[in-house]
Amino acid sequence: MPIRFYFDVENSRETIRDHEGVEATDLAEALAEARSVIQEMADEVCAGDPGTAWTLVVRDASGTVLVRLPIRR
Protein backbone atom coordinates (compact mmCIF):
# COMPACT_ATOMS: atom_id res chain seq x y z
CA MET A 1 0.00 0.00 0.00
CA PRO A 2 1.44 3.40 -0.97
CA ILE A 3 2.46 5.89 1.68
CA ARG A 4 2.18 9.66 1.18
CA PHE A 5 5.34 11.69 1.73
CA TYR A 6 5.68 15.47 1.65
CA PHE A 7 8.68 17.48 0.45
CA ASP A 8 8.98 20.86 2.14
CA VAL A 9 11.67 23.35 1.12
CA GLU A 10 13.19 25.56 3.78
CA ASN A 11 15.99 27.90 4.64
CA SER A 12 16.74 29.79 7.82
CA ARG A 13 14.01 32.37 7.07
CA GLU A 14 11.13 30.54 5.44
CA THR A 15 9.46 27.19 4.83
CA ILE A 16 7.55 26.32 1.68
CA ARG A 17 5.16 23.54 2.63
CA ASP A 18 4.21 20.74 0.27
CA HIS A 19 0.46 20.26 0.65
CA GLU A 20 0.09 17.73 -2.17
CA GLY A 21 2.80 15.16 -1.44
CA VAL A 22 3.77 12.09 -3.42
CA GLU A 23 2.92 8.44 -2.97
CA ALA A 24 5.71 5.89 -2.61
CA THR A 25 5.89 2.29 -1.48
CA ASP A 26 8.50 3.09 1.18
CA LEU A 27 11.00 5.67 2.40
CA ALA A 28 13.69 4.48 -0.04
CA GLU A 29 11.41 5.19 -3.00
CA ALA A 30 10.44 8.56 -1.52
CA LEU A 31 14.13 9.48 -1.11
CA ALA A 32 14.82 8.59 -4.75
CA GLU A 33 11.99 10.93 -5.74
CA ALA A 34 13.30 13.60 -3.36
CA ARG A 35 16.74 13.46 -4.97
CA SER A 36 15.12 13.86 -8.37
CA VAL A 37 13.20 16.90 -7.11
CA ILE A 38 16.44 18.40 -5.77
CA GLN A 39 18.14 18.01 -9.15
CA GLU A 40 15.22 19.74 -10.86
CA MET A 41 15.03 22.69 -8.48
CA ALA A 42 18.64 23.21 -7.36
CA ASP A 43 19.65 25.74 -10.00
CA GLU A 44 16.54 27.85 -9.56
CA VAL A 45 16.52 27.81 -5.76
CA CYS A 46 20.26 28.38 -5.34
CA ALA A 47 20.46 31.08 -8.03
CA GLY A 48 17.64 33.08 -6.47
CA ASP A 49 19.49 33.43 -3.17
CA PRO A 50 23.05 32.07 -3.57
CA GLY A 51 24.14 32.89 -0.01
CA THR A 52 21.32 30.93 1.60
CA ALA A 53 21.41 27.23 2.44
CA TRP A 54 18.24 25.43 1.33
CA THR A 55 17.03 22.06 2.56
CA LEU A 56 14.45 19.60 1.27
CA VAL A 57 12.58 18.17 4.26
CA VAL A 58 10.86 14.82 3.80
CA ARG A 59 7.98 14.23 6.18
CA ASP A 60 5.20 11.71 6.52
CA ALA A 61 1.44 12.35 6.68
CA SER A 62 1.57 12.85 10.47
CA GLY A 63 4.10 15.67 9.99
CA THR A 64 7.06 13.73 11.36
CA VAL A 65 10.31 14.82 9.71
CA LEU A 66 12.04 11.74 8.33
CA VAL A 67 15.02 13.17 6.46
CA ARG A 68 16.62 16.52 5.68
CA LEU A 69 18.52 16.73 2.38
CA PRO A 70 20.64 19.75 1.41
CA ILE A 71 19.78 21.40 -1.89
CA ARG A 72 22.98 22.09 -3.82
CA ARG A 73 23.87 22.66 -7.45
CA angle 31, 22, 33 (to 5 degrees): 30
- Is 80 exceeded by the pLDDT of residue 46? no
pLDDT (mean) for 43-71: 87
Distance, CA of 38 to CA of 35 (rounded, Å): 5
> Which residue type occupies 67?
V
Report the predicted TM-score, pTM, of the whole model to 2 decimal places.
0.86
Q: What is the mean pLDDT of residues 14-37?
A: 94
Q: Minimal CA–CA distance to 24: which of 53, 55, 67, 54? A: 67
